[in-house]
Structure 1
């Protein structure tokens, strides 16, 4: 009886183990985010002091473009900037454009691309010099290609 039970249970256990084990998903490339809720793009900067001092020293703005069409923009005066690439937006190529709107000091900045649901974060850095203040833009600082729920970022 024990042998019969073993012969019946062993194939079932092997079957259950084979069905229950999930193959490891391919890891995403370092420049991609997969997220059903889209991505948030956040621009923060520093002029060497506190966040408050940095916000007082300069004003940077950020625009999300698809071709020549503005999709979202952030031009806050007293806070860092953010825009969102939502899942309802058409697949295709989007650019993240930056502008040194006002100020007259050197400023370093970081653009974070964050999966809204996944929280995966990609970081990209850059800077504007003091002599560019109030008169500088960086069109296409980042290019984000949206394909379904996958967002590929190029610098």
Structure 2
């Protein structure tokens, strides 16, 4: 496992973590904590929602709004997003996102993490999420996970 603090006021954080070229493995990304994307709205969790509040607020939906880094299906302001490599397409992580390995995975691209916010508004953000990344066996998801060795730059 590897743990990172993803700051709401900063751009893409390069974790150095890569995919594994093995279809029996997967990368599990989990986020905890709150951060502030809009000071007038207050703290939100990794899925862009207010803590302990299951209601949907339409103003946080940014699906289809191209000025947001992630504007695909289910996109929300303040959610945790990721991308593989500098020019990879952003995707939603939210509180948890298991990503399957592939036999032909590009193991040169590293995972980058960020709050879903427009670049000109990042300086008003505050707080951080704690993000844990682990490699797991897709055939035995409850078994032991592997950790990312930051020095060796590989899963062990």
Q: Which has the larger radius of gyration?
A: 1
Which structure's residues are more often helix, by fraction?
A: 1
Pick 1 or 2: higher relative contact order, CA cutoff 8 A, min separation 6: 2
Task: Name the TM-score, length of structure 1 as normaliser.
Answer: 0.39
